């Protein structure tokens, strides 16, 4: 019971939610300080969009790619920029690889940066632009509303802690506490203990409550929430993002755990060598979320697959960023899953020929 369900639930918060928070918080603060400037710059210099989008995904985790998906949903960046971010992101599997082989992780990040930017520019050059739901909406800016975990209130300057709200404050308290335990575990400085499990389960539970009270959707999907007017709003909004990602990762972790337990399939049965392996790696990358991709990276670290297979999977996978894009712009998301497999197959096959 513990390893089958409880451990995956705890890992969703401790291995993913905590590290997403480490990116969401500084990105949220930067958006609070310079958000309008960033959007204006991207609108004025849209040709830099794919390169900037790919660069935003260089920090480990999914935070940068998720932010690019929100920018795309608001029309601040092109579809090529969204593709660049999805190609370049390694998702939360990068934490696993970074802990085991930092040098290889940096090399892969640079490869992803170049591949993602190139793919984005090609998409824009070909004029691939799926219809967005936002295109049919009235573009008149609505009154600025701030989604609070559980309610919506008119935006106003908020500087005091009590204006954050009890549930977001509890979530951020657990994230901070979880980081002090999870970071040493992730970098193999200590082994998971009862405290890790307890904090993870509690954190995932609070994330589920926040996710449900937030309407079971990503918060960063309109102009108002994209430009917070206070740090309290940044933290409320960031809490919604983290809860959204944590819940879906928990579903992926538990689902894969149960599937493995029932069927005995753990990924090692797949043909992972040669050109077939590259195809398998790119195909596995089509699966949304980070759970399966983390397992796939673990197989590589265990010596179960060659580097070209991992590279194909890394380029094809979209991490947790595809989940909010599916919720916001499902047609763009479905097309993106197809487009990201093309550079995955090309680069994976080229690497196979070179090694």
| Coil/strand/helix, residue 87 | helix
As a whole number, the mean pLDDT across the chain is 79
What pLDDT was estimated at residue 231?
78
What pLDDT was estimated at residue 259?
78
Residues 280-306 have pLDDT tens digits of: 999 998 887 776 787 788 778 877 788
What pLDDT was estimated at residue 113?
96
Number of folded domains that form the chain? 1
- The parts of the chain modelled with pLDDT lower than 70 are 31, 35-36, 38-43, 99, 132-163, 186-192, 217-229, 265-270, 291
Residue 115: name the closest of 50, 204, 212 by CA. Answer: 50
User: 137: which residues sit within 8 A by CB, 6+ positions away?
Assistant: none
What pLDDT was estimated at residue 336?
92
Say what the pTM is: 0.65
Rounded to an integer, what is the distance from CA 27 to the centroid of its chain? 13
Using alpha carbons, list the distances in angstroms from residue 16 to 119, 214, 243, 274: 27, 19, 11, 31
Residue 210: name the closest of 221, 199, 200, 218 by CA. Answer: 218
Could you give the CA distance from residue 28 to residue 228 in angstroms, rounded to a whole number? 8
> Within 13 Å, how many C-alpha atoms sit on residue 128's CB side?
19
What pLDDT was estimated at residue 206?
93
User: 148: which residues sit within 8 A by CB, 6+ positions away?
Assistant: 165, 168, 236
What pLDDT was estimated at residue 258?
86
Beta bridge pairs of residue 151 = 148
> Domain range spanning residue 197?
2-354
Tokens representing residue 295 in the block: 């397992």
User: 71: which residues sit within 8 A by CB, 6+ positions away?
Assistant: 39, 42, 53, 77, 81, 226
| Coil/strand/helix, residue 151 | strand
| Coil/strand/helix, residue 190 | coil
Using alpha carbons, list the distances in angstroms from residue 163 to 155, 196, 224, 234, 235: 11, 30, 18, 12, 11
Burial class from Cβ neighbours inside 10 Å (0-12, 13-18, 19+) for residue 74 reads middle
């Amino acid at each position: 019971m513990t390893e089958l369900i409880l451990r995956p639930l705890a890992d969703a918060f401790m291995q993913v939610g905590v590290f997403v928070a480490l990116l969401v918080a500084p990105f949220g603060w930067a958006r609070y300080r310079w958000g309008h400037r960033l959007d204006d710059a991207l609108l004025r210099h849209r040709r830099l969009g794919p390169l900037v989008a790919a660069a935003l995904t260089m920090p480990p985790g999914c935070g940068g790619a998720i932010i690019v998906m929100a920018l795309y949903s608001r029309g601040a960046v092109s579809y090529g920029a969204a593709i660049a971010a999805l190609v370049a992101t390694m998702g939360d599997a990068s934490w696993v690889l970074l802990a085991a082989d930092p040098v290889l992780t940096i090399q892969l990040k640079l490869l992803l940066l170049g591949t993602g930017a190139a793919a984005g520019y090609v998409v824009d050059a070909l004029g691939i632009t799926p219809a967005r739901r936002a295109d049919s909406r009235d573009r008149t800016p609505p009154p600025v509303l701030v989604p609070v975990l559980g309610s919506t209130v008119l935006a106003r300057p908020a500087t005091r802690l009590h204006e954050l709200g009890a549930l977001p404050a509890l979530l951020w308290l657990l994230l901070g506490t979880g980081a002090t335990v999870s970071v040493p575990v992730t970098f193999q400085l200590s082994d998971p203990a009862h405290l890790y499990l307890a904090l993870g389960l509690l954190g995932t539970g609070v994330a589920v409550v926040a996710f449900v009270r937030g309407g079971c959707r990503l918060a960063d999907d309109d102009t108002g929430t994209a430009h917070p007017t206070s740090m309290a709003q940044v933290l409320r909004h960031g809490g919604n993002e983290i809860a959204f990602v944590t819940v879906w990762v928990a579903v992926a972790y538990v689902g894969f755990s149960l599937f493995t337990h029932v069927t005995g399939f753990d990924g090692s049965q797949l043909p992972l060598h040669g050109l077939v392996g590259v195809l398998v790696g790119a195909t596995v990358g089509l699966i949304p979320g980070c759970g399966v991709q983390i397992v796939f990276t673990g197989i590589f670290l265990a010596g179960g697959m060659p580097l070209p297979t991992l590279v194909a999977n890394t380029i094809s996978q979209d991490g947790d960023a595809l989940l909010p894009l599916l919720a916001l712009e499902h047609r763009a998301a479905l097309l993106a899953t197809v487009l990201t497999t093309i550079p995955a197959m090309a680069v994976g096959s080229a690497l196979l020929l070179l090694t």
